[in-house]
Chain A
Amino acid sequence: MAAVTFKDVYKQFEGMGYPALDHVNIEIAEGEFVTILGSSGCGKTTFIKMINRLYEPDAGEILLFGKQIRDKDPVQLRRRIGYVIQQVGLFPHMTVGENIATIPHILKWDKERINAQVDAMLLLVDLEPQEFKNRYPAQLSGGQQQRIGLARALICDPRIMLLDEPFGAIDAITRENLQNELKRIHTESKKTYIFVTHDIREALKLGTKIMIMNQGQILQYGTPEEVLAHPADGFVEELIQTSGVSESLLKDGDGI
């Protein structure tokens, strides 16, 4: 069964002359790490936000693990989907521990279970629980904030994670570390990850599949090797060329 299915999904925001998503069809298999690549404004965020019903399609159907999401209560649906965005996503008035426990609190887990899981999540993202639990987001570096964002999304062990340019505003070295850890967490968890980026190297490094978008359409969906070896059209080819990534680089592995 596919984790996510889009059937002819169409979305045009009011006052816009062109659609944000233009008859999108895609099937994402469970366990994939999909990186969505495309220039700004091409519909990546819209695609992501449709999956947790922050946006509703004008037409078409979206299925999550075989079930129509429009039949589900959005509130319940969202509690089962991990969602990570750029830094701004942490609640500034809550401590790190409270931020990570957001959904468990809503779900009324008992205190001990919450505490234990918060600690486990902090360890998972490589932060010392005792040192970080009681800090506020403003007292953390950008990279640390992003780890907390990950921990918060992961705590209920969602079957699917949506990540919208989570490492967009982070320096290169920290970013590299976060990418490695995210990859490790994904490999261990076998869950489905959908990760938006506009950095082609990041997309190639993390993705088991790459989805390339332009002007509301999906131009290509395939493994990094496929995309590099057989770009679907001129746009994809140019994207690869201008970024200076070549197939040989990919084969070398660590270079990317």
Chain B
Amino acid sequence: MENAIVYFQNNGREYFGLLMGHIGISFVSVLAAMVVAVPLGIVCAGRPRLKSIAEAGFGLLRIVPSLAILILLIPIIGTGVKPAVIALVLLAVPPILINTVQAFLTLPPEMLEASLAMGMNPREQFFKVKLPLAFPLMFAGIRTATVEVIASTTIASYIGAGGLGDIIFTGLALLRTDLLFIGGGSVAVLSLLTGYLMDRYYRYITRWQP
């Protein structure tokens, strides 16, 4: 415990930098995964064949551990932030993709018909009815992906991406349990806090549900 206090006294700035790096990498990865998975999911929902191909492909990626993907990527793009983000995006796409497809496939048919009967054109129907009704389930996928990414970003430090994993790997190298404790604890707190905030937001966006 004392060690931890000493650590923060001496390395406060560095710690803050690693924390911000961790958040930054996670954030960019989830954002990029959304940019890929949301449109892909919406397209897949209307095309059963494409849907099974995409789900099988990303499902396969999912069983390969992210560390393995990281190591496989080293010869191709080297080390650093870039391969880390790529591996994290691959990790984050499946839950968002699957939930997006599911959300758009389970839209209540009577809502779709009601919106047509009101005289909405396809664009209005998409933005006023389909997307808002699908959003909670999509967001649940984004939440799952985010928590997974925050945990996995720790491993990305192994190939030089930075982040809180640096503290853990340093601790392992120097056999210092206080560093393991600080690094691991920080990741845990960050991931719990993010999960909590996202749950709060989920409750906000589903306030209309009974």
* A contacts, CB < 8 Å to B: 52, 54, 75-80, 83, 85, 88-95, 102-103, 105-106, 136-138, 152
Contacts and interface: CB of A to CB of B under 8 A. Distances in A.
Given A75-B120, A75-B121, A83-B117, A93 B110 contact: no
Contacts of B124: 106
Interface in B96-135: 108, 110-111, 113-121, 124, 128-129, 132-133
Given A75-B120, A80-B119, A138-B209, 7 more contacts: A54-B116, A88-B108, A90-B114, A91-B114, A92-B208, A136-B207, A152-B118
Interface of B: 108, 110-111, 113-121, 124, 128-129, 132-133, 207-210
Contact of B120 (A52, A90, A106): A106
Interface SS majority for chain B: helix
Contacts of B208: 92-95, 136-138
Contacts of A136: 207-208
Nearest to B121: A75
A75 B125 CA distance: 11
Contacts of A152: 118
Contacts of B120: 75, 106
A74 to B, nearest CB: 8
B207 A75 contact: no
Contacts of A90: 114
Nearest to B122: A75
Nearest to A102: B118
Contacts of A80: 119
B119 A103 contact: yes
Contact of A93 (B113, B114, B117, B132): B132
Contacts of B207: 136
B33 to A, nearest CB: 25
Can you list the 5 inter-chain pairs with the closest CB atoms, starting with the nearest?
Answer: A79-B119, A78-B119, A138-B210, A136-B208, A83-B117
Nearest to B205: A93
Contacts of A103: 118-119
Nearest to B132: A93
B209 to A, nearest CB: 7
5 contacts: A54-B117, A83-B114, A83-B117, A103-B118, A138-B210
A54 to B, nearest CB: 6
B110 to A, nearest CB: 5
B119 A76 contact: yes
B209 A52 contact: no
Given A136-B207, A138-B209, A91 B111 contact: yes
A88 B110 contact: yes
Contact of B133 (A78, A93, A105): A93
